[in-house]
Amino acid sequence: MIRDPFGDPVAGNPMEAARRGARPAPIKRFYKQASAGERAGAFALMLDGKPAKTSAKNPLVLPSRALAEAVAAEWAGQGAHIDPASMPLTRLAHAAIDGVAGGAQAVAAEIERYAGSDLLLYRATEPEDLVAAQAKHWDPVLAWAGEVFGARFTLAQGVKHVAQPEAAIHAIRVEIARYASLFQLAALVSLTHISGSALLALALGRGRLSPDEAWAAAHVDEDWNIQRWGADAEAMARRAARRLEFIAAARMLELL
């Protein structure tokens, strides 16, 4: 059974660990110092000078010093108790090592499935301001995907599923294959899940969009509803937590 960094079981999707909220019971800090150390050509999280392990007892080894230092900073920044919600890079690293390592092909296929019914492909027919907002944020990404990947998709109105050309899906499959490391795949699938769009995740991964631009594009409909009906405090708290995970996944790609 895959568990998250704090011992809770993760059922089904191996990336669920990257999106978990804070654990109700506080975890007392059990170390004094956290740092990144080089081990056999890779980089490990060190707690009080000892290499840390994941909940599945795998070495917590990162492929770049920058990422290891960022993970160590999350641990060093904890107070008397550990707050898992403030450690998104750590959770994502654990998910990569304990989850993606045993199912990389399935994770890649899941990203591909998102592309087949991507958020950017399903358009509103009214009101005009929502239609315009979707076009403003989404059309440039679709045009870019056509130019860079040769992936040309069919737009749909409403929520009725529209099958996409196999050539477009194949082009996305080829692009996903560029993300060869477990950590790249973990970050990419997290971005895809949170945004509801493989195309936004891939555009961010290529540097076509900044994290803020990708986040705004992913929330066109939600932002339109907020402008019209107002914001719900609980929903906004959940959104803030999702954004923390989203920015962490984007940062992981950058640090790799």
Domain membership flag for residue 145: yes
Give residue 155's pLDDT: 96
Q: Does residue 84 have a cis bond before it (omega within 30 degrees)? A: no
* Same domain membership, residue 227 and residue 127: yes
User: Each residue of 74-109: pLDDT tens digit?
Assistant: 999 999 999 999 999 999 999 999 988 878 999 999
What pLDDT is stored for residue 159 in this prediction? 82
CATH classification of the domain holding 31: 3.30.2180.10
Give the total number of structural domains in the chain.
2
Q: Which token pair is 208?
A: 């076509």
Q: 41 lies in a domain?
A: yes
46 and 138 fall within a common domain: no
Domain boundary among 85, 120, 141: 85
In this structure, the strands spanning 156-157 and 122-123 are parallel
Long-range contacts of 237-242 (CB under 8 A, 24+ apart): 241/21, 241/85, 242/19, 242/194
144 plus 216 within the same structural domain: yes
129: enclosing H helix or E strand: helix 128-148
Q: With beta carbons less than 8 A apart as the criterion, state whether 150 and 167 touch.
A: yes
**CB contact at 8 A, 247 and 89:** no
What is the chain's pLDDT, residue by residue, as a tens digit (256 residues)?
A: 344 455 444 434 445 544 444 344 678 999 999 999 998 788 999 999 999 998 889 999 999 999 999 999 999 999 999 999 999 999 999 999 998 887 899 999 999 999 999 999 999 999 999 999 999 999 999 999 999 999 999 999 988 899 999 999 999 999 999 998 999 999 999 999 999 999 999 999 999 999 999 999 999 999 999 999 998 899 999 999 999 999 999 999 999 8
CB-based contact 118:153 (threshold 8 Å):
yes
Shared-domain flag, residues 138 and 250? yes
The alpha carbon of residue 71 and the mean position of all alpha carbons in its chain are separated, in whole angstroms, by 16
Is the same domain home to 52 and 119? no
- Inter-CA distances, 106 with 14, 185, 247, Å: 10, 11, 24
Q: What is the pLDDT, as a whole number, of residue 190?
A: 96
Does residue 115 sit in the same domain as residue 212?
A: yes
Cα separation values, 203 from 35, 94, 116, 194, 221, Å: 32, 25, 16, 14, 19
Q: Is residue 93 part of a domain?
A: no
Alpha-carbon separation of residue 132 from 36, 124, 219 (angstroms): 47, 9, 14
Which domain range does residue 76 map to?
A: 2-85
Q: Are residues 135 and 60 in the same domain?
A: no
Q: How many CB atoms lie within 10 A of CB 129?
A: 12
Q: What is the CATH number of the domain that holds 231?
A: 1.10.3580.10
Q: Would residue 189 count as lying in a domain?
A: yes
> Token pair for residue 205?
């991964």
The predicted model scores a pTM of 0.88
Q: Do 137 and 239 belong together in one domain?
A: yes
pLDDT of 231: 87
Are 146 and 19 found together in one domain? no
Residues 79 and 117 placed together within one structural domain of the fold: no
